[in-house]
Amino acid sequence: MPGSAALLAALALLSAGFRSSAAAGAESSGDRDRAAGSARCPGRCRCEVSGLLHRVDCSDRGLREVPGNLSVFTSYLDLSMNNMTVLTSGALKDLHFLEEL
């Protein structure tokens, strides 16, 4: 039947389009997750992301305390040349990947 062939072709095209948009949605969701991770960079600091790990440079920013919105994936944190006199208890407690301070 000619109508059946046309219907099958239309369904195949719709199915392919649905798979493409679902894959694109998954990619944009992943991009959003990466962007959210990058957004965890304190406003006055400079950050680099390498895979999951973050390098955060907050040097010479006039900070008086450790920024509170650091990613848990921070592996490097430079706080040099700031006005910090006290490191509050627990300021770095969630930074399990921190290797260099």
Give CA–CA dist 35/26, Å, rounded.
Answer: 14
How far, in Å, CA of 87 to CA of 35, rounded?
Answer: 29
Residue range 38-60, pLDDT digits in tens:
457 898 999 999 999 999 999 99
User: Amino acid identity, residue 45?
Assistant: C
- The domain segmentation of the chain, as residue ranges, is 1-39, 41-101
In the chain, % of residues over pLDDT 70: 61
Asked whether the beta carbons of 70 and 40 are under 8 A apart, the reply is yes
Quote the pTM value: 0.61
User: Going by C-beta distance under 8 Å and a sequence separation of 6 or more, which residues neighbour residue 88?
Assistant: 65, 66
Domain 41-101 has CATH 3.20.20.70: no
